[in-house]
A and B are shown apart, each in its own frame.
Chain A
């Protein structure tokens, strides 16, 4: 099955609920190696996304993703605001004019979003950032896309890859962002940004499963 505009609106509602439910968890992860605001900021941002999307009417996924990106950029703050804002805005350029996404178009759009994050944040793999979860997830989606796997199966592979990517950040010493100030003391903690990436992808998967 493909994900259409209505389905995507449900996905963003579900992401909003996920962020609200994990606000404290993400903030706790961030207080260990950052500044204790990631969950608060993500929750505020996706709450505003909900308001923005409820007020609009969409026929085009490009317009929908652009509104998501702009809203996050203007409301999240920190580094996550520009990074997540760029992610969804770059995805919107690949989704412009589309009424639905399948595995191929979602993988393409997410690959573009990842490029935006890397260009802005300049993080590489193993810097202990969101890139450590997003890169393997995009790779898994691209592979599924090449092998003709359906959206549900592709997302399952993407979520599994994001999860192991997220867990792989635990022993790493941070080399980007505020956690890098801790040096060796950042090791032993899971990266909050990699965790929010995993939470978003797993919510998309759950939402797709529920509506199919």
Chain B
């Protein structure tokens, strides 16, 4: 397993230093904890803070900037950050209007963000939390940790960030975040595994003619392993599961998001997007906006995910609002 490394323990810290050095106008690093802060923080608006394990770049550090996140707290690779990171980062970006935590639904993330929220509440800083759980591959039941937060997180951070930038209150921003989360669904698949740098070998093995359907974003195996099919068949299988789940209906306007897992070329992502366009056309679902590329990755894994978000007028306007971050920028 070959990777660009200096010292395996310093992967995250050195990568963050590079991000900050590449985008000095957009972000700065917190002086004492691992956190990426908006360069002009704090702003007089609700601060949006997210975070989670590293290895999903550009998520979340690449989404810090105008119109999206105020702070991102990265953990070690695929490991949730610790409460002190969110606590210090929130204090650094709070502009007096409170802080919203956008938390992907993983046991560790939820626990660590909750602890940070408790610490901040004790300091009198208003904190609200929304847990993102858009992955239809996981059965939601009382007996699991619930659905995972995956591709929908990117769309949520964009739309909610725009709402905060427009001056909405913490309650309004939280309510919108919950609404977007309720309207977004995703599913992923892998052609290959990925290797956590500190582990040095692939997390799982997949045969040359196999694929894993319903994969998460941490190299954790999905729900079903099967023989490789054509892109069209794979897209239809995933898109059907997503469409049936919400359900999305004829006439619905959506953001169609095809996301690369890190190791799949853009050419194949557009090919998959083309199959998605045809599938949705057949269902009468209207693609109002699209996003195709590597936005929430799983290290060097080959594979992709599909996310559909059912739009309303407000969400569409917020999606179109200007954003300027390392990973996403338009209109400014």
A-to-B contact residues, CB < 8 Å: 27, 31, 33-37, 40-41, 44, 73-83, 120-121, 174-178, 180-183, 185
Q: Which residues of B contact A75 (CB under 8 A)?
A: 82
Assess whether A82 is in contact with B143, with CB atoms less than 8 Å apart.
no
Inter-subunit contact B83/A73 (CB<8 Å): yes
Measured CA separation A137–B75 after assembly (Å): 32
A35 touches B220 (CB 8 A): yes
Contacts of A73 in B (CB 8 A): 82-83, 115
9 CB-based A-B contacts, threshold 8 Å: A35-B53, A37-B77, A40-B198, A77-B75, A78-B75, A79-B107, A82-B112, A180-B145, A181-B144
Shortest CB–CB separation between residue B233 and chain A, in angstroms? Answer: 23
Q: Which residues on the B side are within 8 Å of A40 (C-beta)?
A: 76, 79, 196, 198-199
Residues of chain A contacted by B58 (CB below 8 angstroms): none
Given contacts A80-B108, A82-B108, contact A181 B82 (CB under 8 A): no
Is B216 among interface residues, defined by CB-CB distance under 8 A? yes
Known: A121-B111, A178-B107, A185-B223. A77 touches B145 (CB 8 A): no
Known: A81-B108, A120-B111, A182-B223. A177 touches B79 (CB 8 A): no
> Shortest distance in angstroms between A95's beta carbon and chain B's nearest beta carbon?
22
Say yes or no: is B218 at the interface (Cβ < 8 Å to chain A): yes
The answer on a CB contact under 8 Å between B219 and A35 is: yes
Which of these, B80, B144, B145, B216, contacts A78 with CB under 8 Å?
B80
Tell me the bound Cα distance from A37 to B194 in angstroms. 13
> How far is it, in angstroms, between the C-alpha of A74 and the C-alpha of B82 when the chains are bound?
5
Q: Determine whether the beta carbon of B84 is less than 8 Å from that of A181.
A: no
Q: Does B61 contact A (CB under 8 A)?
A: no
Within 8 Å of chain A (Cβ to Cβ): is B138? yes
Interface check B139, CB cutoff 8 A: yes
Tally of A-B Cβ pairs under 8 angstroms: 109
Contact A77 B196 (CB under 8 A): no
Interface centre among A35, A174, A178 (most CB of B within 10 A): A35
Q: Once the chains are docked, how many angstroms separate the CA of A209 from the CA of B112?
A: 36
Inter-chain contact B196/A37, CB cutoff 8 Å: yes
Selected from A77, A82, A121, A175, the residue in CB contact (under 8 A) with B79 is A77
- Which residues of B have CB within 8 Å of A79? 80, 106-108, 111
Q: In the complex, A181 Cα to B216 Cα: how many Å? A: 9
Bound: A82/B111 CA distance, A? 7
A73 to B: closest C-beta gap in Å? 7
A174 nearest CB neighbor, chain B only? B144
Contacts of A80 in B (CB 8 A): 108
Classify the secondary structure of B's interface with A: loop
Q: In angstroms, how far is the closest chain B Cβ from the Cβ of A129? A: 10
Query: When the two chains form their complex, are residues B107 and A177 in contact, meaning their CB atoms are under 8 A apart?
Result: yes
State whether B75 touches A180 (Cβ < 8 A). no
How many whole Å from A16's CB to the nearest CB in chain B?
Answer: 16
12 A-B pairs besides A37-B77, A79-B107 with CB distance below 8 A are: A31-B219, A34-B220, A35-B79, A36-B199, A37-B78, A78-B108, A81-B80, A81-B108, A82-B83, A121-B107, A181-B138, A182-B223
Give the shortest distance, in Å, between B73 (CB) and chain A (any CB). Answer: 11
Identify B220's interface contact among A44, A120, A178, CB under 8 A.
Answer: A178
Residue of A nearest to B147 (CB): A181
Which residue in chain B gives the minimum CB-CB distance to A70? B84
A82 to B75, CA, bound (A): 14
- A79–B78 Cα distance when bound, in Å, is 11
Residues in B with CB closer than 8 Å to A36 are 78, 196, 199, 203, 219
Q: Is B221 an interface residue (CB 8 A)?
A: yes
Cβ of B204 under 8 Å from chain A: yes
Q: Which residues of A contact B106 (CB under 8 A)?
A: 79, 178
Q: A31-B204, A35-B78, A77-B79 are in contact. Are A181 and B145 (CB under 8 A)?
A: yes
Cβ contact within 8 Å between A81 and B199: no
Asked if B28 CB lies within 8 Å of chain A CBs, one says no
- Closest chain B residue to A72, Cβ basis: B82
Decide if B303 is an interface residue (CB 8 Å cutoff).
no
Candidate in A74, A83, A181 with the most chain B CB atoms within 10 angstroms: A181
Bound complex: CA of A185 vs CA of B139, how far in Å? 13
B139 touches A183 (CB 8 A): yes
Residues of B within 8 A of A183 (CB): 139, 144, 223
Q: Is the CB of B108 within 8 A of A181?
A: no
User: Chain A residue with minimal CB distance to B146?
Assistant: A180
Contact between B107 and A181, CB atoms less than 8 A apart:
no
Interface residues of B in 44-92 (CB under 8 A from A): 53, 75-84
Q: Residues of A contacting B80 with CB < 8 Å? A: 77-79, 81
Q: Closest CB of chain B to A188's CB: distance in Å?
A: 13
Q: Which residues of A contact B198 (CB under 8 A)?
A: 37, 40
Report the bound CA distance from A100 to B126 in whole Å: 42
Tell me if B158 is interfacial: C-beta within 8 Å of chain A: no
* Chain A nearest CB, measured from B303 CB (Å): 16
Min CB distance, A176 to chain B, in Å?
6
